Amino acid sequence: MADYLNSYLFIGAILFTLGAFGVIVRRNIIVVLLSVELMLQGVNLSLGAFSTFYHDMGGYMLVLLSLAIAAAEAVVGLAILVALSRHVDEFYVDRLKSLRW
Partner 1 sequence: MSEAPWLIPLSPLIAFAINGILGPRYLRRATGVIGSLGILTSFLLTIGLWLDLPKEDSKREYILYRWLESGSLKIDIGFTLDELTVVMLLVVTGVSFLIHVYSNAYMEHDNSFARFFTWLPLFVFSMIMLVMANNFLSLFVFWEMVGVCSYFLIGFWHDRDSANNAAMKAFITNRVGDFGFAAGIFLIFWNFGTVNYSEVHASIGTITSGVATTIALLLFVGAMGKSAQFPLHIWLPDAMEGPTPVSALIHAATMVTAGIFMVARNIPIFEAAGISLIIIGGIGAFTALFAATIAVTQTDIKRVLAYSTVSQLGLMFLALGSGAYVAAIFHLATHAFFKALLFLGSGSVIHSMQNEQNMHEYGGLKSKLPWTYATYVIGGLALSAIFPLAGFWSKDEILAGAFFKGASSNGDVLFLLFWIMGLTASLLTAFYTFRMIHLTFHGMPRNRSLYDHAHESPWLMVLPLVLLAALSVAAGIGLGFPPEHGVIHDYLQHVVHSKHFELTGDSTIIISLAIISTAIALIGMMAASAIYQRGRPSPEAMGRLFPVLYTLSYKKYYVDEMVDILIIKSSKAAGFVLWAVDAKLVDGMVNLLGWTVKAFSSIGRRIQTGQVQNYVLIMATGLVVSLGIIMVMQ
Q: Where do contacts with partner 1 occur on this chain (CB under 8 A)?
A: 20, 23-25, 32, 93-94, 96-101
Considering the complex, what minimum distance in angstroms separates the CB of residue 74 from partner 1?
A: 17
Amino acid at site 63? V
Distance of closest approach, residue 32 Cβ to partner 1, in angstroms: 8
* CB of 91 vs partner 1, minimal distance in Å: 13
Nearer to partner 1, 35 or 44 (CB): 35
Q: Which is nearer to partner 1, 25 or 71 (CB)?
A: 25
By C-beta, is 51 or 70 nearer to partner 1? 70
Mark 53-86 as b/e (b = at least 16 C-beta within 10 Å): beeeeebeebbeeeeeebeeeeeebeeeeeeeee
